[in-house]
Amino acid sequence: MSKDTFKVETKLTRLGRDVHDQYGFVNTPIYRGSTVVFDTVDSLQNNKAKFWYGTLGTPTIKSLEDAWSELSGAEGTVMSPSGLGAVALALMTTLKSGDHLLMPDSVYNPTRNFCKVFLEKFGVEITYYDPLVGENIVELFRTNTSTLFLESPGSQSFEIQDVPLLTRLAKQRGIKTIIDNTWATPIFFKAHEHGCDLSVEAGTKYLSGHSDLLMGLVSANAETWPALRAMYDSMAMLPGAEDCFLALRGLRTMHIRLKEAERRALEVANWLSEQPEVSRILHPAFEGCPGHEIWKRDFKGSSGLFSVVFKPGFSKEALSYMLDNMKIFGMGYSWGGFESLVVPFNCADYRTATKWNPEGLTIRLQIGLENVEDLMTDLRQGLDRLSAFR
Ligand SMILES: *Cc1c(COP(=O)(O)O)cnc(C)c1O
């Protein structure tokens, strides 16, 4: 059995470490450092050493880069100190002043803010599009369109995009594609196999798995890798050594945590769909979710984050009464950790290209590793508060 035939779980236990370089210790050590010293002038001037200076990489950083590239089927990977930083790095790689950018209306809202605060200032034109646009995307292509951004499923609303179709149409015009693949991770969706040039992951979520780390990763296909690496090296916005160590540790258990998140989220979502207060579940594995058929075709699984649409008639005050008094579900942003979370949301607050008008109030749930019956009890008591408040 050769290394290449190992299944993903096996790979995740082995990637990015080499015990022979580590005095036999199992894990890659934390290298901290700025200066690298050279034995000879030749080696200093002609780039002959493995490492050159701290901003250009350390063995700890390189271990994580290589592991992520292997997992993602990418030519190369670089990391940023946050997921949003990775989104910014990807966009800076493919865009220049005067270019036109296509952004899905369902994009992670801080990404939209980066477009407004940074890209617009540098003369990039931005058009928001319906994430379910399909082949009509070509009508939005302009002569100066350089980048098509994708996020599948969409943040909070969970539309699944037809990534193979969109990347194929973009490629025909020489337009670069970037996907925010945070929800599925490379374990459930192979972005580069589906045609994406750059793939962004907020490692803050499932790679960390413990809500104690901020990290972003950008992986690139062979064609786009030199541009990504050059942009990254030009700025030297590096992740910290300890953060890379924690990310490598998270990588070892990522598969089992994701599979467990999937199982638990499906159990809770199925149960919720039968509760009288609930109108619909927004979860790509559910038939009513926009793009469900595409999810079935392209994805290997679903993770632990989904949304709920309540039936009409509940007031915002009733929802606050429900959420203010949850016993297990914490109220807060981010997700992918071991603990369950809930946030109320309303996409109508920021959408510009499409109408967001569900029949009732909406919440997003992240399902953690608590006992599922305990979670359902907490939710059922919350739903009782919601309906009692009327
Ligand atoms: C959380 C998130 C990010 C940003 O990650 P941070 O590390 O919090 O900056 C980007 N995209 C998506 C889809 C996310 O959920």
Identify the structural domains of the chain with CATH numbers, from first to last.
Answer: 3-250 (3.40.640.10), 256-388 (3.90.1150.10)
DSSP state of 355: -
More confident residue, 46 or 264: 264
Average pLDDT of the residues in 55-84: 97
Q: What is the DSSP letter of 192?
A: T
Residue 2: pLDDT band with limits 50, 70, 90? low
Distance CA 332, CA 363 (A): 12
How far apart CA 340 and CA 41 sit, in angstroms, is 55
Q: For position 115, what pLDDT does the model report?
A: 98
Beta strands in the chain (DSSP E): 76-80, 100-104, 125-129, 145-151, 176-180, 198-202, 216-220, 278-282, 305-310, 330-331, 341-345, 362-366
DSSP states along 92-135 = HHH--TT-EEEEETTS-HHHHHHIIIIITTTT-EEEEE-TT-GG
- The secondary structure of residue 25, as a DSSP letter, is -
State pLDDT tens for residues 159-169. Answer: 999 999 999 99
pLDDT of residue 290: 95
* Ligand 1 atom nearest to CA at 205: 1
pLDDT at 62 over 70: yes
Distance of CA 158 from the midpoint of ligand 1 (Å): 15
Q: How far is the CA of 2 from the centre of ligand 1 (A)?
A: 35
State in Å: Cα 215 to ligand 1 middle: 9
User: CA nearest 85: which of 239, 244, 206?
Assistant: 239
Quick one: pLDDT at residue 48?
86
* Distance between Cα 85 and ligand 1 center (Å): 9
- For the segment 326-338, the average pLDDT, to the nearest whole number, is 97
**pLDDT of the residue at 47:** 83
DSSP 3-state assignment of 264?
A: helix
Q: Does the pLDDT of residue 3 top 80, yes or no?
A: no
- Is pLDDT above 90 for 36? yes
Task: Kindly report each contact of residues 177-181 with a partner whose C-beta sits within 8 Å and lies 24 or more positions away, as own/partner.
Answer: 177/147, 177/148, 177/149, 177/150, 178/90, 178/91, 178/94, 178/147, 178/148, 178/149, 178/150, 179/149, 179/150, 179/151, 179/152, 180/87, 180/107, 180/108, 180/111, 180/149, 180/150, 180/151, 181/152
Distance of alpha carbon 65 from alpha carbon 90, whole angstroms: 15
The model's confidence at residue 4, banded by pLDDT at 50, 70 and 90, is: confident
Residue 332 CB partners (closer than 8 Å, separation 6+) = 341, 343
Q: Residue 390 — pLDDT band, cuts 50, 70, 90?
A: low
Q: What is the pLDDT of residue 1?
A: 62
How many other CB atoms are there within 10 angstroms of residue 267's CB atom?
15
pLDDT attached to residue 5: 86
In this structure, which residue's CA is closest to atom 8 in ligand 1? 83
Q: What is the DSSP-derived secondary structure letter of residue 354? A: S
Ligand 1 site residues, Cβ closer than 6 angstroms? 82-84, 87, 108, 155, 180, 182, 202, 204-205, 214, 216, 334
At 110-161, the pLDDT tens digits run 999 999 999 999 999 999 999 999 999 999 999 999 999 999 999 999 999 9
Name the residue with the closest Cα to ligand 1, atom 6: 83
Average pLDDT, the chain: 96
CA-based nearest residue to 300, from 7, 1, 5, 4? 7
CB proximity list for 382: less than 8 A, separation 6 or greater: 322, 323, 325, 326, 329
Separation of 83 CA from ligand 1 center, angstroms? 5
Across the range 328-350, mean pLDDT stands at 96
Amino acid identity of residue 199, one-letter, is: S
What is the residue with the minimal CA distance to atom 7 of ligand 1? Answer: 83
pLDDT digits (tens, 9 = 90+) for 174-208: 999 999 999 999 999 999 999 999 999 999 999 99
Tokens of 1: 């059995």
**What value does the CA radius of gyration of the chain take, rounded to a whole number of Å?**
22
pLDDT of residue 189: 98
Longest dimension (CA), the chain: 78
